[in-house]
Amino acid sequence: SELDRSRQTFILSNHYDQLEKQRTFIDTLLQLGADGVIMSPAIGTPAEDIVMAEDNGLPAVLIARSVAGADVPVFRGDDAYGTALATNHLISLGHKRIAMIGGTDQTSTGRDRYQGYLNAMEAAGLEVRPSWRIAGPRTKQAGFEAAGQFLALKDKPTAACCWNDLVAIGLMNGIARAGLVPGVDISVTGYDDLEEAAIATPALTTVWNGQREVGRRAASALLDKLNGQTVRPSQELIKPELHVRQSTGKPVERG
């Protein structure tokens, strides 16, 4: 919307976390003489790739994820704070055994969201068991498949804090397939507040991560760079908000 308002022509590309696909797209932009690029960097993106783009006249701004050593502006949600919001909400309902499902330590997003979960659990004096972290899932299908592993945990967590809404919705489907009621038998939280979250069954308690504001500020910063203004290569965090719906409730012990 910000680029359109400024009458800029833009191209969208999804790298699906494939580094070579991202590099091919950057090369294409350079060949086309593009003015700049806003990137959510693929897993494993080295700072050198971003430096190369800038050195070749393609100013870069990062969103959602940061890359160590990349001296460019970064705009993203405060992921640690946001996941702490969701975890603290579950704790306030009485949950003590809370699993964290999804994400990867290979991205700043995955690391920060898991750290927010740890921070909340430790601040409440609650135990965190390694088995309660089911890393990896990032899609609805992967969340659905993780339900079996989650339900098989011997200590039977009563709630799951999920890395994103897709994982949460997939997990709820898996829980329902096993004959349990998400939001009643097991509480589930998501992250991102996608449109689908509000119409899921049950409606998903989730964290709004300021995506629209992240996009607006990133586009504004890139336009400022293109207009010759000085833009500090700093990281700006947007504060998330918790949106409570039907997928969370008081803990229920499973037999």
The domain segmentation of the chain, as residue ranges, is: 2-77+210-239, 79-208
What integer is the mean pLDDT of 221-232?
92
C-alpha span between 111 and 102 (Å, rounded): 11
Q: Which fold has domain 2-77+210-239?
A: Rossmann fold (3.40.50)
pLDDT at residue 87, as a whole number: 98
For 181-214, the pLDDT digits (tens) are: 999 999 999 999 999 999 999 999 999 999 999 9
* pLDDT tens digits along 114-160: 999 999 999 999 999 999 999 999 999 999 999 999 999 999 999 99
What global pTM score does this model have? 0.90
Domain 79-208 in the same topology as domain 2-77+210-239: yes
User: Residue 70: what pLDDT?
Assistant: 93
79-208 — its CATH code? Answer: 3.40.50.2300
Give the model confidence (pLDDT) of 19-32 as tens digits.
Answer: 999 999 999 999 99
Task: Give the C-alpha separation, 220 to 54, whole Å.
Answer: 18
For residue 36, pLDDT over 90 is answered with yes
Mean pLDDT of 165-174: 98
